[in-house]
Amino acid sequence: MHQILRTGRFLIGNTHRTAWNKGCSSFSKMMKAVCVDIPGGPENLLLRTVPRPQPKNGEVLIRVQAAALNRADLLQRRGQYPPPPGESDIIGLEVAGIVDTLGPGMKMGWNADDRVMALLCGGGYAEYVAVREELLMPVPTHLTLSQAAAIPEAWLTAFQLLVFIAQLKESEVVLIHAGASGVGTAAVQLVRLLGAVPVVTAGSPEKLRMAEKLGAAAGFNYKEESFAKGVHDLTGGKGANVILDCIGGCNWEQNVSSLAIDGRWVLYGTMGGRAVEGDLLGKLLSKRGHLLCSLLRSRSLQYKADLVRAFSERVLPHFSDQPASLRPVIDSTFKLEDIAEAHRHMEANRNMGKIVINVV
């Protein structure tokens, strides 16, 4: 009887230990992430514990150190910009972190513990994210992971608009709306790198001064003056060869007026409305203008892979530690727990440069 009782205690102990190990194993496969149950305001952003993604064929699991905000995040939170089919419904389009796990079928030579930054279709507001290896870039050695998180979406968007869409040429004039935004600050620097002339609009003297420090040849406060007149005065009446426009409707007349003959007006957002009233087509036709529209998130994997490769070859080496090198502009940083406040900061249009979320 004594032996049986002792055996029973041993079995119970093993059962308890097995259950504890299973619980720990299950817990280790979870992560913190920001979720939105009901579309709406920043208060609807909820920090939860959810299952950690597992890398599929050709994917890498990143241990996220930092993510960054984009205007698309605000739209997704409101239910106005859902992720592409099959993608994570967790908000967040760019991250930087450490390679945690390699999925099967890897071909590009990434290794565990590599410092990487990545373009995402979603999933960035989390401790881990799985991403195709083609969408990874190495973090420049002198940049922190918080700085690197401010690069992928904003800089790839600006590069795509200027090179893939507008096909910018040397010495052309580029009018960049929202010149102090994440994409705007990247575009100013890229236009200079590509040998062209950046001109910006912004809503405050402080934002204009920052853009000019980054290389803008001129800046116009759209709240106080006509940017169309400013562009005409600057170019001797010729106008801008390229316009990068995330504003849309409310600016259309000044945009067409600012456009040079055969100019390219690149629309990638509609912060100023989608409706247009008036003779848009007639005035655009008189300029022989090109209206080009582009979004990045919904592009194919092949398109994004080509974009990442071109950016990595042509631009990434210029993020060096030299004084004239490119640099991500960071407005502020928030903890993941304070994601709602970060969204409020962007919605108030207070930021100059990127808003970064430190996940770790």
CATH of the domain at 192: 3.40.50.720
- Mean model confidence pLDDT for the chain: 91
Q: What is the pLDDT of residues 201-233, one digit of tens each?
A: 999 999 999 999 999 999 999 999 999 999 999
Residues 319 and 255 in one domain: no
Per-residue pLDDT at 122 exceeds 60: yes
Q: Which domain holds residue 318?
A: 30-153+299-358
Confidence of residue 5 (pLDDT cuts 50, 70, 90): very low
pLDDT reported for residue 28: 65
pLDDT digits (tens, 9 = 90+) for 254-282: 999 999 999 999 999 988 888 888 889 99
Bridging pattern class, strands 94-102 and 59-68: antiparallel
Residue where a domain stops, chosen among 261, 293, 325: 293
**Mean pLDDT throughout 283-307?**
95
**CA-to-CA dists, residue 62 to 3, 80, 119, 132, 355, angstroms:** 51, 27, 12, 10, 20
Instruction: Give the pLDDT of residue 273.
Output: 81
Q: Of 164, 165, 209, which is closest to residue 188 (Cα–Cα)?
A: 209
Tens digit of each residue's pLDDT (9 = 90 or more) over 163-207: 999 999 999 999 999 999 999 999 999 999 999 999 999 999 999
Dihedral in degrees, nearest 10, Cα atoms 206, 243, 301, 108: -60
Examine residue 218 and state whether it is found in any structural domain, yes or no.
Answer: yes
pLDDT of amino acid 27: 52
* pTM recorded for the entire structure: 0.89
In sequence order, the 6+-apart residues with CB closer than 8 A to the CB of 22 are none
**By mean pLDDT, which of 2-16, 65-79, 155-169, 336-350 is the weakest?**
2-16
109 and 204 in one domain?
A: no
Inform me whether the pLDDT recorded for 15 exceeds 80: no
Same structural domain for residues 89 and 172? no
Where residue 326 falls among pLDDT bands split at 50, 70, 90? very high
Q: What is the CA radius of gyration of the chain?
A: 24
CB 54 within 8 A of CB 36: no
Do 274 and 170 belong together in one domain? yes
Backbone angles phi, psi at 227, to 5 degrees: -70, -25
Task: Give the separation between CA 81 and CA 89, rounded to whole angstroms.
Answer: 11
User: Count of domains in the chain?
Assistant: 2
The mean per-residue pLDDT over the stretch 108-129 comes to 97
Asked if 115 and 206 sit in the same domain, the reply is: no
Whether residues 246 and 325 fall in one domain: no
Do 112 and 170 sit in the same domain of this protein? no
Residues with Cβ within 8 Å of residue 247, at least 6 apart in sequence: 177, 178, 269, 270, 271, 272
Position 195 scores a pLDDT of 98
Do 148 and 51 lie in one domain? The reply is yes
280 and 187 housed in the same domain: yes
Given pLDDT bands bounded at 50, 70 and 90, which one contains residue 25? Answer: very low
Q: Check if the beta carbon of residue 243 is closer than 8 Å to that of residue 264.
A: yes
Are both 36 and 136 inside the same structural domain? yes
124 and 94 inside one domain: yes
Kindly state whether residue 246 falls inside one of the protein's structural domains: yes
145 and 175 part of one domain: no
232 lies in some domain = yes
Report the percentage of the chain scoring pLDDT > 90. 84
pLDDT of residue 197: 98
> Considering the domain boundaries, does residue 5 fall inside one?
no
Asked, for residue 100, whether it belongs to a domain, the answer is yes
Provide the pLDDT for residue 249.
Answer: 77
**220/273 Cα distance (integer angstroms):** 20
Residue 126 CB contacts under 8 Å (≥ 6 apart), including other chains: 31, 32, 33, 34, 50, 64, 90, 92, 359
Nearest to 338 by CA among 356, 311, 315: 356
